[in-house]
Amino acid sequence: MKDNVKSGALTEVTFFILLSLYVPKHGYAIMQFIEEKTGGRLILGAGSLYGAINTLTEKGWIEPFGEEGRTKEYVITPFGREIAEKELRRLKELTAIASEIVGGNCA
């Protein structure tokens, strides 16, 4: 996962994983969320997802949620929310600048 925290730029997959975990979810529900929200444009395989989950857990952006022994669920941490909100601000700034240049004529 090549996220650039210094500049605030996250990969699209990382951003969607963080967004999906504002409500606790297990891995398969995360994959469904991303596929649904992107209209099938992004489809994660289990290996890619669990690799990302491990990385995001190590960074402290997400954490396990709920009881052990059941299907493992994850939830975004307060630090992860900060990261997601920073990315949203970056994307809004990017689209504002692009709309200004293009003239807002994008459909």
For residues 19 and 83, is the Cβ–Cβ distance under 8 A?
Answer: no
From the CA atom positions of the chain, what is the Rg in Å? 15
The answer to whether residue 100 scores a pLDDT higher than 70 is yes
Query: What residue spans define the domains of the chain?
Result: 12-102
Share the mean pLDDT of the chain. Answer: 89
For residues 41 and 34, is the Cβ–Cβ distance under 8 A?
Answer: no
CA nearest to 48, candidates 62, 64, 67, 34 = 34
The answer to whether residue 37 scores a pLDDT higher than 70 is yes
pTM value surpassing 0.75: yes
Instruction: Give the domain 12-102 fold.
Output: Arc Repressor Mutant, subunit A (1.10.10)
According to the model, what pLDDT value does residue 77 have? 98
3-state secondary structure of 73: strand
Comparison of pLDDT for 104 and 75, the residue scoring more: 75
Both tokens assigned to 21: 């975990």
